[in-house]
């Protein structure tokens, strides 16, 4: 039976809904530490769950071994990969606790391993990344949200910053000028590595704060204050991902 993969972000490090849970430690060619994958069944679907930041030790966004994570997931040949990621909203009209399904990315990260190309291959894998998320999977998420009667924001550009510090107000102004709508720290290089391995990958974002210098975050951001919104939006996002599969 087909597998479906879910990647949990800071709001989701385990999936309590999983029945017949099996934890597997997957060795990868990308480092000594194995990747922990939790498999099980939800509503008759085979779900492969990855906690992006890890389960015991929590890796900050700039230290995540994205290559190992995505390679480990690919071993299960998932039909679709849906990644959850919390974000700050650049636009004041986007509500805290809302869910967004972005359709574009701008990458502001640096120093991360962004490819499986090592330079030793006989070819260079120039993947097409015009549309960074799988269009059919994104459409399926939007359709599922309509079926669930769950309001979402359809589209928008995810700006991936380096972290783990949050942005300055000037950086958010720059992101706004560049056309960014949501600020997060993890979908790059995760999404392009998934594309290199031909995985169908899309993201569901949880808006947990207004971005630095904007709206309620004008005076500063205390991420601890965002927990309630994160819990609510994460629960809804998991339901949405499952309804999509
Ligand atoms: N910036 C970057 N990443 C985030 C934010 C933010 O404001 N909120 C949640 N993840």
Residue 55 is predicted with a pLDDT of 87
pLDDT classification of 57: cutoffs 50, 70, 90: confident
Q: Is the per-residue pLDDT at 6 higher than 90? A: yes
Give the closest residue (by CA) to ligand 1 atom 9: 87
Task: Return mean pLDDT, the chain.
Answer: 96
pLDDT classification of 223: cutoffs 50, 70, 90: confident
Residue 1 is predicted with a pLDDT of 80
pLDDT classification of 216: cutoffs 50, 70, 90: confident
Q: What pTM did the predictor assign?
A: 0.97
Q: Is the per-residue pLDDT at 217 higher than 90? A: no
Does residue 184 line the site of ligand 1, with CB under 6 A? yes
Q: Is the per-residue pLDDT at 103 higher than 90? A: yes
Q: Is the per-residue pLDDT at 204 higher than 90? A: yes
Q: Is the per-residue pLDDT at 212 higher than 90? A: yes
Q: How far are the Cα atoms of 6, 36, 40, 140, 170 from residue 240, in angstroms, in the given order? A: 11, 24, 18, 10, 34
Ligand 1 centre and the CA of 86: distance in Å? 7
Ligand 1 centre and the CA of 18: distance in Å? 28
**What's the mean pLDDT in 145-171?**
98
CA distance 245 to 240: 9
Give the closest residue (by CA) to ligand 1 atom 6: 88
Identify each DSSP E strand in 79-181 by its residue range: 81-89, 99-101, 104-107, 153-154, 157-160
**What's the mean pLDDT in 52-76?**
96
Q: How far are the Cα atoms of 117, 119, 223, 243 from residue 122, in angstroms, in the given order? A: 10, 8, 46, 41
Q: Is the per-residue pLDDT at 237 higher than 90? A: yes
Residue 113 is predicted with a pLDDT of 97
Radius of gyration of the chain (CA): 17
| ipTM greater than cut 0.90 | yes
Does residue 183 line the site of ligand 1, with CB under 6 A? yes
Quote the crossing angle between the two packed helices 187-196 and 66-74, to the nearest 10°. Answer: 40
């Amino acid at each position: 039976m087909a597998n479906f993969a879910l990647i949990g972000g800071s709001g989701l490090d385990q999936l309590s809904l999983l029945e017949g849970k099996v934890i597997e430690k997957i060795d990868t060619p990308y480092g000594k530490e194995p990747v922990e994958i939790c498999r099980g069944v939800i509503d008759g679907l085979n779900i492969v769950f990855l906690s992006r930041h890890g389960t015991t030790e929590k890796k900050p966004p700039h230290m995540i071994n994205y290559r190992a994570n995505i390679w480990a997931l690919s071993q299960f040949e998932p039909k679709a990969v849906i990644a959850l990621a919390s974000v700050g909203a650049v636009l004041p009209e986007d509500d805290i606790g809302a869910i967004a399904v972005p359709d574009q990315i701008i990458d502001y990260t640096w120093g991360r391993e962004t490819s499986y190309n090592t330079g030793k291959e006989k070819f260079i894998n120039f993947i097409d990344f015009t549309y960074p998320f799988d269009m059919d999977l994104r459409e399926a998420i939007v359709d599922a949200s309509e079926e669930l009667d769950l309001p979402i924001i359809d589209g928008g550009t995810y700006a991936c910053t380096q972290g783990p510090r949050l942005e300055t107000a000037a950086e958010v102004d720059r992101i706004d000028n560049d056309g960014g709508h949501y600020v997060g720290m993890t979908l790059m290089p995760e999404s392009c590595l998934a594309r290199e391995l031909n995985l169908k990958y899309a993201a569901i974002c949880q808006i947990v704060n207004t971005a630095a210098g904007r709206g309620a975050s004008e005076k500063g951001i205390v991420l601890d204050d965002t927990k309630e919104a994160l819990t609510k939006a994460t629960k809804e996002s998991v339901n949405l991902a499952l309804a999509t599969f």
